[in-house]
């Protein structure tokens, strides 16, 4: 039983530290993580899952994925559609 309880606390502590890391980066270098999508990518880079990262930031994984798709569409030009010749 004690090991199970320790595991839960370690998970909570790890998520809290990850949240503090992303907030510190956002404060010190706002261009590095300008929005929620960038913050989620940062948290994924340090080992959190997309759903855990989104939850820490007060959103959902589906919302983050939707924002990522919208961002890619803006950058993608014609969205991969073939042009008529």
CB of 43 closer than 8 Å to CB of 56: yes
pLDDT at 6: 86
Residue 23 belongs to some domain of the structure: yes
What is d(CA 16, CA 4) in angstroms, rounded to the nearest whole number? 19
Least confident of 5-9, 10-14, 21-25, 27-31: 5-9
Residue 78 belongs to some domain of the structure: no
pTM equals: 0.74
Residue 59 belongs to some domain of the structure: yes
Residue 75 belongs to some domain of the structure: no
Res 11 pLDDT > 60:
yes
pLDDT tens digits for range 25-84: 999 999 999 999 999 999 999 889 999 999 999 999 999 999 989 888 877 656 556 666
What is d(CA 53, CA 19) in angstroms, rounded to the nearest whole number? 8
Number of domains in the chain: 1
What is d(CA 55, CA 64) in angstroms, rounded to the nearest whole number? 10
């Amino acid at each position: 039983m004690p090991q199970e309880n320790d595991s839960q606390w370690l998970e909570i502590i790890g998520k809290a530290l990850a949240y503090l890391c992303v907030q510190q980066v956002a404060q010190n270098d706002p261009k590095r993580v300008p929005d929620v999508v960038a913050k989620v990518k940062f948290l994924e880079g340090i080992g959190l899952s997309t759903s855990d990262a989104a939850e820490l930031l007060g959103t959902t994984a589906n919302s983050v994925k939707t924002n990522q798709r919208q961002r890619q569409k803006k950058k993608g030009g014609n969205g991969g559609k073939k042009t008529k010749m």
